[in-house]
Chains A and B, each alone.
Chain A
Amino acid sequence: MDKEIIKQGAEARLYLGKYEGETCLIKERFVKKYRHPDLDKQITRRRMKAEMKTAARCLAAGVLVPKVLHLDYPAHTLYIEYYANAKTAKEFIQETVATQEPGETMKILQDLCCRIGVIIGRMHFDHIIHGDLTTSNILIDPQENKYDIVFIDFGLSHYDKGAERKGVDLYVLERALLSTHSEQPYLFDFIMEGYRVHCGAEGLLVLAKFEEVRARGRKRTMIG
Protein backbone atom coordinates (compact mmCIF):
# COMPACT_ATOMS: atom_id res chain seq x y z
CA MET A 1 0.00 0.00 0.00
CA ASP A 2 1.27 3.47 -0.76
CA LYS A 3 1.37 5.74 2.22
CA GLU A 4 2.86 9.13 2.74
CA ILE A 5 4.33 10.02 6.14
CA ILE A 6 3.04 13.32 7.43
CA LYS A 7 4.17 13.43 11.01
CA GLN A 8 6.41 11.63 13.45
CA GLY A 9 5.10 12.02 16.97
CA ALA A 10 6.52 10.83 20.27
CA GLU A 11 5.03 7.37 20.04
CA ALA A 12 3.46 7.02 16.61
CA ARG A 13 4.01 7.82 12.95
CA LEU A 14 1.16 9.35 11.03
CA TYR A 15 0.66 8.47 7.38
CA LEU A 16 -1.88 9.51 4.83
CA GLY A 17 -3.44 6.47 3.19
CA LYS A 18 -6.60 4.86 1.97
CA TYR A 19 -9.19 2.72 3.67
CA GLU A 20 -11.93 1.26 1.48
CA GLY A 21 -11.23 3.91 -1.11
CA GLU A 22 -11.49 6.85 1.31
CA THR A 23 -8.52 8.98 2.28
CA CYS A 24 -7.69 8.35 5.92
CA LEU A 25 -5.03 8.84 8.52
CA ILE A 26 -2.96 5.84 9.48
CA LYS A 27 -1.52 5.94 12.96
CA GLU A 28 1.19 3.42 13.55
CA ARG A 29 2.55 2.98 17.06
CA PHE A 30 6.14 1.83 16.79
CA VAL A 31 8.02 -0.44 19.14
CA LYS A 32 10.00 1.44 21.77
CA LYS A 33 13.32 -0.31 22.04
CA TYR A 34 14.16 1.30 25.37
CA ARG A 35 11.23 -0.45 27.05
CA HIS A 36 11.19 -4.05 28.24
CA PRO A 37 9.35 -6.01 25.48
CA ASP A 38 6.60 -7.18 27.86
CA LEU A 39 6.00 -3.65 29.09
CA ASP A 40 6.03 -2.30 25.56
CA LYS A 41 3.40 -4.77 24.37
CA GLN A 42 1.25 -4.10 27.40
CA ILE A 43 1.37 -0.33 26.90
CA THR A 44 0.78 -0.35 23.15
CA ARG A 45 -2.18 -2.68 23.46
CA ARG A 46 -3.72 -0.72 26.31
CA ARG A 47 -3.40 2.58 24.45
CA MET A 48 -4.81 1.33 21.16
CA LYS A 49 -7.77 -0.09 22.99
CA ALA A 50 -8.29 3.17 24.86
CA GLU A 51 -8.22 5.13 21.63
CA MET A 52 -10.90 3.04 20.03
CA LYS A 53 -13.16 2.83 23.05
CA THR A 54 -12.98 6.49 23.93
CA ALA A 55 -13.64 7.59 20.36
CA ALA A 56 -16.88 5.61 20.47
CA ARG A 57 -17.80 7.04 23.88
CA CYS A 58 -17.13 10.59 22.71
CA LEU A 59 -19.35 10.21 19.68
CA ALA A 60 -22.11 8.92 21.94
CA ALA A 61 -21.62 11.95 24.20
CA GLY A 62 -21.84 14.34 21.26
CA VAL A 63 -18.15 15.27 21.33
CA LEU A 64 -16.54 15.60 17.94
CA VAL A 65 -13.63 13.19 17.41
CA PRO A 66 -12.17 11.50 14.32
CA LYS A 67 -13.94 8.22 13.64
CA VAL A 68 -11.89 5.06 14.03
CA LEU A 69 -12.35 3.13 10.79
CA HIS A 70 -10.25 0.08 11.44
CA LEU A 71 -7.98 -1.39 14.05
CA ASP A 72 -5.08 -3.68 13.27
CA TYR A 73 -3.64 -5.03 16.52
CA PRO A 74 -0.75 -7.10 15.17
CA ALA A 75 0.53 -4.15 13.15
CA HIS A 76 -0.14 -1.65 15.99
CA THR A 77 -2.05 0.41 13.46
CA LEU A 78 -5.19 2.47 13.63
CA TYR A 79 -7.07 3.80 10.59
CA ILE A 80 -8.83 7.02 11.44
CA GLU A 81 -10.82 9.77 9.79
CA TYR A 82 -8.63 12.52 8.30
CA TYR A 83 -9.31 16.23 8.75
CA ALA A 84 -7.54 17.74 5.79
CA ASN A 85 -8.01 21.42 6.63
CA ALA A 86 -7.61 21.26 10.37
CA LYS A 87 -4.84 22.84 12.39
CA THR A 88 -4.02 22.34 16.06
CA ALA A 89 -5.37 24.74 18.67
CA LYS A 90 -1.73 25.54 19.46
CA GLU A 91 -1.14 26.81 15.92
CA PHE A 92 -4.49 28.58 15.91
CA ILE A 93 -3.70 30.45 19.15
CA GLN A 94 -0.21 31.40 18.00
CA GLU A 95 -1.51 32.64 14.63
CA THR A 96 -4.28 34.64 16.28
CA VAL A 97 -1.82 36.31 18.64
CA ALA A 98 0.52 37.11 15.75
CA THR A 99 -2.06 38.49 13.31
CA GLN A 100 -4.86 40.09 15.31
CA GLU A 101 -5.24 43.28 17.36
CA PRO A 102 -4.93 42.63 21.13
CA GLY A 103 -8.63 43.34 21.76
CA GLU A 104 -9.74 41.09 18.95
CA THR A 105 -7.28 38.36 20.02
CA MET A 106 -8.82 38.36 23.47
CA LYS A 107 -12.32 37.96 22.02
CA ILE A 108 -11.36 35.14 19.66
CA LEU A 109 -9.43 33.26 22.32
CA GLN A 110 -12.13 33.70 24.93
CA ASP A 111 -14.67 32.26 22.53
CA LEU A 112 -12.38 29.35 21.64
CA CYS A 113 -11.42 28.50 25.22
CA CYS A 114 -14.99 28.76 26.44
CA ARG A 115 -16.07 26.25 23.81
CA ILE A 116 -13.17 23.95 24.69
CA GLY A 117 -14.19 24.18 28.35
CA VAL A 118 -17.78 23.26 27.55
CA ILE A 119 -16.61 20.18 25.64
CA ILE A 120 -14.29 19.04 28.42
CA GLY A 121 -17.18 19.52 30.86
CA ARG A 122 -19.34 17.33 28.67
CA MET A 123 -16.66 14.65 28.46
CA HIS A 124 -16.22 14.64 32.23
CA PHE A 125 -19.99 14.57 32.70
CA ASP A 126 -19.91 11.28 30.81
CA HIS A 127 -16.87 10.14 32.83
CA ILE A 128 -14.48 10.33 29.89
CA ILE A 129 -10.97 11.30 31.01
CA HIS A 130 -8.77 12.42 28.13
CA GLY A 131 -5.51 11.95 30.03
CA ASP A 132 -3.37 14.20 27.82
CA LEU A 133 -5.15 17.50 27.34
CA THR A 134 -2.89 19.94 25.50
CA THR A 135 -3.48 22.44 22.73
CA SER A 136 -1.66 20.06 20.38
CA ASN A 137 -4.36 17.46 20.96
CA ILE A 138 -7.23 19.75 20.01
CA LEU A 139 -7.93 20.42 16.33
CA ILE A 140 -9.62 23.45 14.84
CA ASP A 141 -11.50 22.42 11.71
CA PRO A 142 -12.58 25.48 9.71
CA GLN A 143 -16.11 25.58 8.30
CA GLU A 144 -17.83 28.45 6.53
CA ASN A 145 -17.67 31.46 8.90
CA LYS A 146 -17.06 29.23 11.89
CA TYR A 147 -15.02 26.29 13.02
CA ASP A 148 -15.47 22.92 14.68
CA ILE A 149 -13.42 21.76 17.65
CA VAL A 150 -12.18 18.20 17.40
CA PHE A 151 -10.42 16.31 20.19
CA ILE A 152 -7.75 13.79 19.21
CA ASP A 153 -5.20 11.40 20.66
CA PHE A 154 -7.00 9.31 23.24
CA GLY A 155 -4.13 6.93 23.96
CA LEU A 156 -3.97 7.93 27.63
CA SER A 157 -7.72 8.16 28.08
CA HIS A 158 -9.87 6.10 30.38
CA TYR A 159 -13.32 5.83 31.86
CA ASP A 160 -13.56 6.85 35.50
CA LYS A 161 -16.41 8.16 37.62
CA GLY A 162 -14.28 9.56 40.44
CA ALA A 163 -13.44 13.22 40.87
CA GLU A 164 -9.72 12.58 41.40
CA ARG A 165 -8.87 11.64 37.83
CA LYS A 166 -10.99 14.43 36.40
CA GLY A 167 -9.21 16.87 38.67
CA VAL A 168 -5.84 15.58 37.47
CA ASP A 169 -7.09 15.89 33.87
CA LEU A 170 -7.70 19.61 34.42
CA TYR A 171 -4.38 20.00 36.22
CA VAL A 172 -2.52 18.44 33.28
CA LEU A 173 -4.27 20.90 30.95
CA GLU A 174 -3.43 23.90 33.13
CA ARG A 175 0.24 22.92 33.24
CA ALA A 176 0.34 22.33 29.49
CA LEU A 177 -1.16 25.76 28.84
CA LEU A 178 1.21 27.52 31.23
CA SER A 179 4.25 25.97 29.59
CA THR A 180 3.12 26.23 25.94
CA HIS A 181 1.34 29.57 26.01
CA SER A 182 3.18 31.34 28.82
CA GLU A 183 2.45 34.73 27.22
CA GLN A 184 -1.31 34.14 27.41
CA PRO A 185 -1.85 33.23 31.07
CA TYR A 186 -5.60 33.89 30.83
CA LEU A 187 -6.43 30.89 28.60
CA PHE A 188 -7.06 28.43 31.41
CA ASP A 189 -9.45 30.78 33.21
CA PHE A 190 -11.53 31.08 30.04
CA ILE A 191 -11.63 27.30 29.72
CA MET A 192 -12.77 26.95 33.30
CA GLU A 193 -15.58 29.44 32.61
CA GLY A 194 -16.84 27.14 29.89
CA TYR A 195 -16.30 24.07 32.06
CA ARG A 196 -18.44 25.44 34.87
CA VAL A 197 -21.37 26.05 32.52
CA HIS A 198 -21.82 22.40 31.78
CA CYS A 199 -20.37 20.46 34.65
CA GLY A 200 -23.30 20.48 37.09
CA ALA A 201 -23.17 19.48 40.76
CA GLU A 202 -20.69 16.69 40.22
CA GLY A 203 -18.43 19.13 38.44
CA LEU A 204 -18.15 21.23 41.58
CA LEU A 205 -16.64 18.22 43.32
CA VAL A 206 -14.17 17.95 40.46
CA LEU A 207 -13.22 21.60 40.87
CA ALA A 208 -12.61 21.08 44.59
CA LYS A 209 -10.47 18.05 43.76
CA PHE A 210 -8.60 20.05 41.14
CA GLU A 211 -7.65 22.63 43.77
CA GLU A 212 -6.41 19.78 45.96
CA VAL A 213 -4.28 18.27 43.18
CA ARG A 214 -2.84 21.69 42.45
CA ALA A 215 -1.94 22.18 46.11
CA ARG A 216 -0.06 18.87 46.10
CA GLY A 217 2.23 20.32 43.45
CA ARG A 218 2.76 23.66 45.14
CA LYS A 219 3.24 22.32 48.63
CA ARG A 220 5.75 19.70 47.72
CA THR A 221 9.01 20.64 49.38
CA MET A 222 11.29 19.14 46.71
CA ILE A 223 14.16 18.12 48.95
CA GLY A 224 17.50 17.12 47.45
Chain B
Amino acid sequence: MVCSLGIEGSANKIGVGIIRDGEVLANVRRTYITPPGEGFLPNATAKHHREVILTLVQESLKEAKIKPADLDVVCYTKGPGMAPPLLVGAIVARTLALLWEKPLMGVNHCIGHIEMGRHITGAQNPIILYVSGGNTQVIAYSNKKYRIFGETIDIAVGNCLDRFARILKLPNDPSPGYNIEQMAKNGSKYIKLPYVVKGMDVSFSGILSHIEELADPTKNPNKRKKTQEAESPETKPADLCFSLQETIFAMLVEITERAMAHCGSNEVLIVGGVGCNERLQKMMEIMCEERGGKLFATDERYCIDNGLMIAHAGAEMFKSGTRMPFEESFVTQRYRTDEVLVTWRDD
Protein backbone atom coordinates (compact mmCIF):
# COMPACT_ATOMS: atom_id res chain seq x y z
CA MET B 1 0.00 0.00 0.00
CA VAL B 2 1.50 3.31 -1.08
CA CYS B 3 0.19 6.63 0.15
CA SER B 4 1.65 9.53 -1.75
CA LEU B 5 1.51 13.33 -1.60
CA GLY B 6 2.34 15.31 -4.73
CA ILE B 7 3.08 18.98 -5.31
CA GLU B 8 2.76 20.53 -8.74
CA GLY B 9 3.83 24.06 -9.59
CA SER B 10 5.41 24.19 -13.02
CA ALA B 11 3.30 27.04 -14.41
CA ASN B 12 0.53 29.30 -13.13
CA LYS B 13 -1.26 26.56 -11.18
CA ILE B 14 -0.15 25.29 -7.81
CA GLY B 15 -1.73 22.10 -6.56
CA VAL B 16 -1.40 19.46 -3.89
CA GLY B 17 -2.88 15.98 -4.21
CA ILE B 18 -2.93 12.84 -2.09
CA ILE B 19 -3.57 9.36 -3.45
CA ARG B 20 -3.60 6.00 -1.64
CA ASP B 21 -3.43 2.90 -3.79
CA GLY B 22 -5.22 4.57 -6.66
CA GLU B 23 -7.89 6.06 -4.42
CA VAL B 24 -8.10 9.85 -4.67
CA LEU B 25 -8.01 11.32 -1.16
CA ALA B 26 -7.43 15.00 -1.94
CA ASN B 27 -6.86 17.26 -4.93
CA VAL B 28 -6.65 20.98 -4.21
CA ARG B 29 -5.44 23.75 -6.49
CA ARG B 30 -5.07 27.53 -6.87
CA THR B 31 -4.50 29.45 -10.10
CA TYR B 32 -2.52 32.65 -10.48
CA ILE B 33 -4.80 34.84 -12.57
CA THR B 34 -3.41 37.91 -14.33
CA PRO B 35 -5.43 40.87 -15.69
CA PRO B 36 -6.86 40.55 -19.25
CA GLY B 37 -4.25 41.06 -21.92
CA GLU B 38 -1.36 39.96 -19.71
CA GLY B 39 0.47 36.66 -19.35
CA PHE B 40 2.01 35.29 -16.16
CA LEU B 41 5.61 36.20 -15.43
CA PRO B 42 7.88 33.69 -13.67
CA ASN B 43 8.74 35.68 -10.53
CA ALA B 44 5.25 37.00 -9.89
CA THR B 45 3.91 33.46 -10.35
CA ALA B 46 6.42 32.08 -7.86
CA LYS B 47 5.41 34.79 -5.38
CA HIS B 48 1.76 33.74 -5.73
CA HIS B 49 2.69 30.08 -5.20
CA ARG B 50 4.75 30.88 -2.09
CA GLU B 51 1.79 32.69 -0.58
CA VAL B 52 -0.66 29.79 -0.92
CA ILE B 53 1.32 26.55 -0.90
CA LEU B 54 1.38 25.92 2.86
CA THR B 55 -2.35 26.49 3.10
CA LEU B 56 -2.84 24.00 0.27
CA VAL B 57 -0.73 21.33 2.00
CA GLN B 58 -2.80 21.75 5.17
CA GLU B 59 -6.05 21.68 3.20
CA SER B 60 -5.07 18.49 1.39
CA LEU B 61 -4.14 16.65 4.63
CA LYS B 62 -7.41 17.74 6.17
CA GLU B 63 -9.45 16.68 3.15
CA ALA B 64 -7.67 13.32 3.00
CA LYS B 65 -8.17 12.82 6.74
CA ILE B 66 -4.63 11.51 7.17
CA LYS B 67 -1.61 12.46 9.24
CA PRO B 68 1.83 13.05 7.73
CA ALA B 69 2.95 9.79 9.33
CA ASP B 70 0.52 7.87 7.07
CA LEU B 71 2.43 8.96 3.95
CA ASP B 72 5.01 6.76 2.22
CA VAL B 73 6.50 9.24 -0.20
CA VAL B 74 6.52 12.97 -0.99
CA CYS B 75 6.57 13.85 -4.71
CA TYR B 76 7.15 17.09 -6.60
CA THR B 77 7.40 18.24 -10.21
CA LYS B 78 11.02 18.15 -11.33
CA GLY B 79 10.30 19.69 -14.75
CA PRO B 80 9.68 20.81 -17.41
CA GLY B 81 8.36 24.24 -16.52
CA MET B 82 9.32 27.71 -15.38
CA ALA B 83 12.17 27.57 -12.88
CA PRO B 84 10.92 30.02 -10.20
CA PRO B 85 7.50 28.36 -9.70
CA LEU B 86 9.06 24.88 -9.96
CA LEU B 87 11.48 25.79 -7.18
CA VAL B 88 8.65 26.70 -4.82
CA GLY B 89 7.23 23.20 -5.13
CA ALA B 90 10.64 21.54 -4.87
CA ILE B 91 11.70 23.46 -1.76
CA VAL B 92 8.45 22.74 0.07
CA ALA B 93 8.62 19.05 -0.92
CA ARG B 94 12.23 18.77 0.29
CA THR B 95 11.39 20.46 3.57
CA LEU B 96 8.36 18.22 4.17
CA ALA B 97 10.34 15.09 3.30
CA LEU B 98 13.03 15.97 5.85
CA LEU B 99 10.53 17.12 8.46
CA TRP B 100 8.37 14.01 8.16
CA GLU B 101 11.30 11.69 7.41
CA LYS B 102 9.84 10.40 4.16
CA PRO B 103 11.54 9.57 0.84
CA LEU B 104 11.45 12.24 -1.86
CA MET B 105 10.54 11.67 -5.54
CA GLY B 106 10.94 14.04 -8.50
CA VAL B 107 8.39 13.47 -11.25
CA ASN B 108 8.33 14.49 -14.92
CA HIS B 109 5.32 16.73 -15.43
CA CYS B 110 4.30 15.14 -18.76
CA ILE B 111 4.52 11.63 -17.33
CA GLY B 112 2.27 12.84 -14.51
CA HIS B 113 -0.39 13.88 -17.02
CA ILE B 114 -0.16 10.60 -18.94
CA GLU B 115 -0.31 8.31 -15.91
CA MET B 116 -3.16 10.27 -14.31
CA GLY B 117 -5.14 10.09 -17.57
CA ARG B 118 -4.59 6.35 -17.85
CA HIS B 119 -5.54 5.81 -14.23
CA ILE B 120 -8.77 7.86 -14.33
CA THR B 121 -10.02 6.59 -17.70
CA GLY B 122 -8.74 3.02 -17.53
CA ALA B 123 -7.15 3.29 -20.99
CA GLN B 124 -4.60 0.50 -21.39
CA ASN B 125 -2.19 1.42 -24.15
CA PRO B 126 -3.56 4.48 -25.94
CA ILE B 127 -2.04 6.98 -28.34
CA ILE B 128 -1.74 10.05 -26.13
CA LEU B 129 -2.40 13.58 -27.29
CA TYR B 130 -0.81 15.87 -24.73
CA VAL B 131 -1.94 19.45 -25.28
CA SER B 132 -1.33 22.32 -22.87
CA GLY B 133 0.09 25.82 -22.60
CA GLY B 134 3.64 24.61 -23.08
CA ASN B 135 3.30 21.25 -24.80
CA THR B 136 1.84 19.71 -27.89
CA GLN B 137 2.89 16.10 -28.33
CA VAL B 138 1.53 12.87 -29.76
CA ILE B 139 2.95 10.07 -27.65
CA ALA B 140 2.89 6.28 -27.74
CA TYR B 141 4.44 3.80 -25.33
CA SER B 142 6.98 1.35 -26.63
CA ASN B 143 9.78 -0.54 -24.97
CA LYS B 144 9.98 1.23 -21.57
CA LYS B 145 9.69 4.76 -22.92
CA TYR B 146 6.90 7.13 -23.81
CA ARG B 147 8.02 8.01 -27.31
CA ILE B 148 7.14 11.27 -29.01
CA PHE B 149 5.79 10.58 -32.48
CA GLY B 150 4.68 14.06 -33.33
CA GLU B 151 4.96 17.47 -31.72
CA THR B 152 4.86 21.16 -32.44
CA ILE B 153 7.95 22.49 -34.12
CA ASP B 154 7.45 25.94 -32.63
CA ILE B 155 4.88 27.16 -30.04
CA ALA B 156 2.41 24.98 -28.15
CA VAL B 157 -1.27 24.94 -29.00
CA GLY B 158 -2.24 26.39 -25.61
CA ASN B 159 0.30 29.14 -26.03
CA CYS B 160 -1.28 30.01 -29.39
CA LEU B 161 -4.75 30.16 -27.79
CA ASP B 162 -3.55 32.13 -24.74
CA ARG B 163 -1.77 34.70 -26.85
CA PHE B 164 -4.75 35.17 -29.13
CA ALA B 165 -6.97 35.62 -26.07
CA ARG B 166 -4.61 38.37 -24.95
CA ILE B 167 -4.99 40.16 -28.30
CA LEU B 168 -8.77 40.07 -27.87
CA LYS B 169 -8.37 41.15 -24.23
CA LEU B 170 -10.37 38.17 -23.04
CA PRO B 171 -10.22 37.58 -19.28
CA ASN B 172 -7.76 35.02 -17.89
CA ASP B 173 -10.37 33.80 -15.44
CA PRO B 174 -10.84 30.82 -15.25
CA SER B 175 -8.48 30.42 -18.22
CA PRO B 176 -7.96 32.17 -21.57
CA GLY B 177 -8.64 28.95 -23.48
CA TYR B 178 -12.00 28.49 -21.76
CA ASN B 179 -13.08 31.99 -22.74
CA ILE B 180 -12.07 31.41 -26.37
CA GLU B 181 -14.11 28.21 -26.31
CA GLN B 182 -17.19 30.06 -25.03
CA MET B 183 -16.77 32.85 -27.56
CA ALA B 184 -16.34 30.35 -30.41
CA LYS B 185 -19.80 29.00 -29.65
CA ASN B 186 -21.22 32.28 -31.03
CA GLY B 187 -19.19 32.10 -34.21
CA SER B 188 -20.27 30.32 -37.38
CA LYS B 189 -18.39 31.80 -40.30
CA TYR B 190 -15.27 29.86 -41.21
CA ILE B 191 -12.40 32.18 -42.05
CA LYS B 192 -9.56 30.57 -43.94
CA LEU B 193 -6.35 30.27 -41.91
CA PRO B 194 -3.03 28.58 -42.63
CA TYR B 195 -3.13 24.84 -41.99
CA VAL B 196 0.32 23.50 -41.19
CA VAL B 197 0.94 19.77 -40.80
CA LYS B 198 4.41 18.36 -41.48
CA GLY B 199 4.35 14.61 -41.27
CA MET B 200 3.27 13.99 -37.69
CA ASP B 201 4.46 17.43 -36.59
CA VAL B 202 2.50 20.68 -36.52
CA SER B 203 3.31 24.38 -36.42
CA PHE B 204 1.20 27.15 -34.87
CA SER B 205 3.31 30.31 -35.00
CA GLY B 206 2.32 31.21 -38.56
CA ILE B 207 -1.37 30.79 -37.73
CA LEU B 208 -0.98 33.04 -34.70
CA SER B 209 0.65 35.88 -36.64
CA HIS B 210 -1.96 35.56 -39.37
CA ILE B 211 -4.95 35.69 -37.05
CA GLU B 212 -3.40 38.47 -34.98
CA GLU B 213 -3.36 40.60 -38.09
CA LEU B 214 -6.96 39.73 -38.89
CA ALA B 215 -8.01 40.69 -35.38
CA ASP B 216 -6.09 43.93 -35.37
CA PRO B 217 -5.20 45.13 -38.88
CA THR B 218 -3.64 48.32 -37.51
CA LYS B 219 -0.91 46.35 -35.79
CA ASN B 220 1.21 45.73 -38.89
CA PRO B 221 -0.05 48.22 -41.46
CA ASN B 222 2.78 47.90 -43.97
CA LYS B 223 3.75 44.32 -43.58
CA ARG B 224 1.09 42.85 -45.80
CA LYS B 225 -0.21 44.55 -48.90
CA LYS B 226 -3.43 42.59 -48.66
CA THR B 227 -4.62 44.50 -45.60
CA GLN B 228 -6.22 47.25 -47.69
CA GLU B 229 -8.61 44.95 -49.45
CA ALA B 230 -9.60 43.69 -45.98
CA GLU B 231 -10.87 40.14 -45.74
CA SER B 232 -14.35 41.41 -44.94
CA PRO B 233 -15.66 44.71 -43.60
CA GLU B 234 -15.79 43.46 -40.06
CA THR B 235 -14.30 40.22 -38.85
CA LYS B 236 -16.17 39.36 -35.71
CA PRO B 237 -14.02 38.13 -32.82
CA ALA B 238 -16.44 35.23 -32.33
CA ASP B 239 -15.85 34.06 -35.91
CA LEU B 240 -12.11 34.35 -35.42
CA CYS B 241 -12.24 32.22 -32.26
CA PHE B 242 -14.43 29.70 -34.06
CA SER B 243 -12.13 29.49 -37.08
CA LEU B 244 -9.00 29.32 -34.93
CA GLN B 245 -10.39 26.39 -32.95
CA GLU B 246 -11.65 24.57 -36.05
CA THR B 247 -8.27 24.90 -37.76
CA ILE B 248 -5.86 24.04 -34.98
CA PHE B 249 -7.97 21.23 -33.55
CA ALA B 250 -8.33 19.69 -37.03
CA MET B 251 -4.53 19.68 -37.21
CA LEU B 252 -4.27 17.96 -33.82
CA VAL B 253 -6.88 15.34 -34.70
CA GLU B 254 -5.13 14.69 -37.99
CA ILE B 255 -1.71 14.00 -36.46
CA THR B 256 -3.31 11.84 -33.78
CA GLU B 257 -5.03 9.81 -36.49
CA ARG B 258 -1.75 9.48 -38.36
CA ALA B 259 -0.09 8.15 -35.23
CA MET B 260 -2.97 5.68 -34.75
CA ALA B 261 -2.60 4.39 -38.32
CA HIS B 262 1.17 4.29 -37.88
CA CYS B 263 1.12 2.29 -34.64
CA GLY B 264 -2.00 0.25 -35.38
CA SER B 265 -3.66 1.52 -32.20
CA ASN B 266 -7.36 2.06 -31.57
CA GLU B 267 -7.40 4.07 -28.36
CA VAL B 268 -6.80 7.78 -27.88
CA LEU B 269 -6.25 9.55 -24.59
CA ILE B 270 -6.30 13.35 -24.41
CA VAL B 271 -4.45 14.95 -21.49
CA GLY B 272 -3.27 18.47 -20.58
CA GLY B 273 -5.10 21.74 -20.04
CA VAL B 274 -6.34 22.15 -23.64
CA GLY B 275 -7.69 18.60 -23.35
CA CYS B 276 -10.77 19.77 -21.48
CA ASN B 277 -11.94 21.78 -24.51
CA GLU B 278 -15.24 20.18 -25.48
CA ARG B 279 -14.92 20.97 -29.17
CA LEU B 280 -11.54 19.21 -29.33
CA GLN B 281 -13.00 16.21 -27.50
CA LYS B 282 -15.98 16.15 -29.88
CA MET B 283 -13.81 16.26 -33.01
CA MET B 284 -11.56 13.54 -31.65
CA GLU B 285 -14.61 11.44 -30.83
CA ILE B 286 -15.94 11.70 -34.40
CA MET B 287 -12.54 10.67 -35.75
CA CYS B 288 -12.43 7.68 -33.39
CA GLU B 289 -15.95 6.60 -34.34
CA GLU B 290 -15.03 6.65 -38.02
CA ARG B 291 -12.11 4.33 -37.32
CA GLY B 292 -13.93 2.13 -34.86
CA GLY B 293 -11.69 3.40 -32.07
CA LYS B 294 -12.30 4.68 -28.58
CA LEU B 295 -11.67 8.09 -27.02
CA PHE B 296 -10.65 8.61 -23.40
CA ALA B 297 -10.73 12.08 -21.91
CA THR B 298 -10.93 13.59 -18.44
CA ASP B 299 -12.49 16.73 -17.01
CA GLU B 300 -10.78 19.84 -15.68
CA ARG B 301 -9.97 18.30 -12.26
CA TYR B 302 -7.45 15.94 -13.85
CA CYS B 303 -6.77 17.58 -17.25
CA ILE B 304 -5.50 20.87 -15.92
CA ASP B 305 -2.24 20.75 -13.94
CA ASN B 306 -2.83 19.26 -10.51
CA GLY B 307 -0.89 17.84 -7.59
CA LEU B 308 -2.71 14.52 -7.74
CA MET B 309 -1.09 13.50 -11.01
CA ILE B 310 2.35 14.06 -9.51
CA ALA B 311 1.35 12.04 -6.44
CA HIS B 312 0.05 9.22 -8.64
CA ALA B 313 3.00 9.03 -11.07
CA GLY B 314 5.38 9.30 -8.10
CA ALA B 315 3.58 6.44 -6.34
CA GLU B 316 3.88 4.26 -9.48
CA MET B 317 7.61 4.98 -9.63
CA PHE B 318 7.99 4.31 -5.92
CA LYS B 319 6.11 0.99 -6.15
CA SER B 320 8.32 -0.18 -9.03
CA GLY B 321 11.40 0.36 -6.85
CA THR B 322 12.65 3.70 -8.17
CA ARG B 323 14.34 5.81 -5.49
CA MET B 324 15.74 9.30 -5.85
CA PRO B 325 18.84 10.32 -3.85
CA PHE B 326 18.23 13.52 -1.94
CA GLU B 327 21.12 15.26 -3.75
CA GLU B 328 19.25 14.87 -7.02
CA SER B 329 16.22 16.80 -5.86
CA PHE B 330 16.81 19.71 -8.22
CA VAL B 331 14.46 21.13 -10.84
CA THR B 332 15.03 21.46 -14.57
CA GLN B 333 13.27 23.63 -17.13
CA ARG B 334 13.94 21.15 -19.94
CA TYR B 335 12.96 17.59 -19.29
CA ARG B 336 11.61 15.68 -22.27
CA THR B 337 8.94 13.02 -21.95
CA ASP B 338 11.13 10.39 -23.65
CA GLU B 339 13.98 10.87 -21.15
CA VAL B 340 12.12 8.98 -18.41
CA LEU B 341 12.65 5.23 -18.10
CA VAL B 342 9.21 3.73 -17.48
CA THR B 343 9.97 1.21 -14.76
CA TRP B 344 6.33 0.63 -13.78
CA ARG B 345 5.03 -0.83 -17.05
CA ASP B 346 5.85 -4.35 -18.18
CA ASP B 347 4.18 -4.41 -21.60
Contacts and interface: CB of A to CB of B under 8 A. Distances in A.
Does B associate with A? yes
Interface of A: 9-11, 32-36, 38-39, 42-43, 131-134, 136, 156, 168-169, 171-173, 175-176, 178-180, 182-183, 213, 216-224
A13 B138 CA distance: 23
Given A32-B287, A36-B250, A222-B80, A182 B147 contact: yes
Given A182-B142, A182-B143, A223 B133 contact: yes
B154 A216 contact: yes
Interface string B270-286: 00010000000011101
Contacts of B333: 221, 223
B72 interface: no
Nearest to A165: B198
A10 B143 CA distance: 24
Given A43-B195, A132-B199, A136-B262, A224 B305 contact: yes
Given A222-B80, A223-B133, A180 B262 contact: yes
Nearest to A169: B198
Contacts of B143: 182-183
Nearest to B150: A175
A133 B290 contact: no
A73 to B, nearest CB: 19
Nearest to B86: A223
Contacts of B140: 179
Contacts of A218: 334
Interface string B180-196: 00000000001010010
Nearest to A183: B143
26 contacts: A10-B260, A10-B262, A32-B290, A33-B286, A35-B253, A38-B192, A39-B195, A131-B199, A132-B198, A156-B198, A169-B198, A171-B153, A171-B201, A176-B200, A179-B140, A182-B142, A182-B147, A183-B143, A217-B151, A217-B153, A220-B334, A222-B135, A222-B334, A223-B81, A223-B133, A224-B273
Contact of B334 (A133, A156, A173, A221): A221
B135 A224 contact: yes
A111 to B, nearest CB: 25
A132 to B, nearest CB: 5
B107 to A, nearest CB: 15
B29 to A, nearest CB: 13
Contacts of B148: 175, 179
A34 B201 contact: no
B257 A168 contact: no
A9 B261 contact: yes
B17 interface: no
Residue in A136, A156, A179, A182 whose Cβ sees the most chain B Cβ within 10 Å: A179
Interface in B294-322: 305
Contact of B134 (A38, A133, A156, A223): A223
Given A38-B192, A39-B190, A172-B198, 8 more contacts: A34-B250, A34-B282, A42-B195, A156-B199, A176-B199, A224-B81, A224-B132, A224-B158
B50 interface: no
B134 A134 contact: no
Contacts of B282: 34
Contact of A175 (B11, B200, B283, B290): B200
A39 B250 contact: yes
B247 interface: yes
A220 to B, nearest CB: 8
A11 to B, nearest CB: 8
Contacts of B199: 131-134, 156, 172-173, 175-176
Contacts of B151: 217
B253 A38 contact: no
A224 B53 CA distance: 18
B261 A10 contact: yes
B89 to A, nearest CB: 13
Nearest to B334: A221
Contacts of B12: 224
Q: Which 9 A-B pairs have the closest CB atoms?
A: A223-B134, A224-B11, A172-B199, A224-B133, A224-B134, A10-B261, A34-B283, A34-B286, A222-B80
B82 interface: yes
Nearest to A173: B199
B80 A172 contact: no
